[in-house]
Amino acid sequence: AQKVTQAQTEISVVEKEDVTLDCVYETRDTTYYLFWYKQPPSGELVFLIRRNSFDEQNEISGRYSWNFQKSTSSFNFTITASQVVDSAVYFCALTRGGSSYKLIFGSGTRLLVRP
Amino acid sequence: DGGITQSPKYLFRKEGQNVTLSCEQNLNHDAMYWYRQDPGQGLRLIYYSQIVNDFQKGDIAEGYSVSREKKESFPLTVTSAQKNPTAFYLCASKQGVGNQPQHFGDGTRLSIL
């Protein structure tokens, strides 16, 4: 069975601090995809990144970076120099390779960045 | 602008009433999805459709129904059989059958009167 665990329910930081959101996944598939989405207070989910199981290179996009480690089944997300606008709920999700339709979501981590 | 439009933003249901949530997309995406989000939880899949006139049950389809008569539209009906309908409902769409990211609407918050 596939499962995504985000153990951090809520994180509170002061602006400009770095923060890492943890994501641990379980799957028996050799081909799979991992995603991160951001849900701001307005409610819609905003796609941040997709990573396939064969690409373990870390990725950086501005203040965002992602660390994918198959050995520990983790796909962690770091925000450097956090800003108030980063306050949101962040979801990690998993899907099978091929023609899979189904995204398995973690329960989300609520990030509060205080001024 | 291309995107997904959900309406209404807020909806109230009386006991024994069916209500329909609208989802329209102009992204020309083939696949569309409905999710339910409860407080402090992730999203759970209700129904999905990969092509017009075809749809499949997700993990929590009981008490819900859908139709897919047009590519751009995927309405969700919450029936009176759904005993705990209070939740935030999100519609999504995706291009093709591969692992492209799903794009989401702004959601509809449904409450019971």
Q: What is the DSSP string of chain A?
A: --EEE---SEEEEETT--EEE--EEE---SSEEEEEEEE-TT---EEEEEEETT----EEETTEEEEEEGGGTEEEEEESS--GGG-EEEEEEEEESSS---PEE---EEEEEE-
Chain A nearest CA to B43, separation (Å): 6
Local confidence band at A99 (pLDDT 50, 70, 90 cut-offs): low
Nearest to B107 among A44, A99, A106 (CB): A44
Nearest to B106 among A9, A44, A50 (CB): A44
Tell me: pLDDT of A94 over 90. Answer: yes
Tell me: pLDDT of B1 over 70. Answer: no
pLDDT in tens, A6-63: 999 999 999 999 999 999 999 998 889 999 999 999 899 999 999 989 888 888 889 9
The single-letter code of the amino acid at B101 is P
Q: Which residue has the higher pLDDT, A81 or A31?
A: A81
Q: How many residues does chain B have?
A: 113
Judged by CB atoms closer than 8 Å, whether chains meet at A100 and B99 is answered as yes
How far apart are the C-alpha atoms of A112 and B38, rounded to whole Å?
A: 20
Judged by CB atoms closer than 8 Å, whether chains meet at A102 and B58 is answered as yes
Tell me: pLDDT of A98 over 70. Answer: no
Q: What is the pLDDT of residue B97?
A: 65
List residues bridging with B33 in a β-sheet: B48, B92
Chain B nearest CA to A97, separation (Å): 7
Q: What is the pLDDT of residue B41?
A: 82
Q: What's the whole-number mean pLDDT along residues B75-95?
A: 93
Q: Are B1 and B99 in contact (CB under 8 A)?
A: no
pLDDT, chain B, mean: 92
Q: What is the pLDDT of residue B16?
A: 85
Q: What's the whole-number mean pLDDT along residues B16-23?
A: 94
Interface membership of B103 toward A (CB under 8 Å) = yes
Judged by CB atoms closer than 8 Å, whether chains meet at B42 and A105 is answered as yes
Q: What is the pLDDT of residue A102?
A: 81
Local confidence band at A87 (pLDDT 50, 70, 90 cut-offs): very high
| Residue B74 CB contacts under 8 Å (≥ 6 apart), including other chains | B23, B25, B32, B34, B49, B55, B66, B67, B68, B91, B93
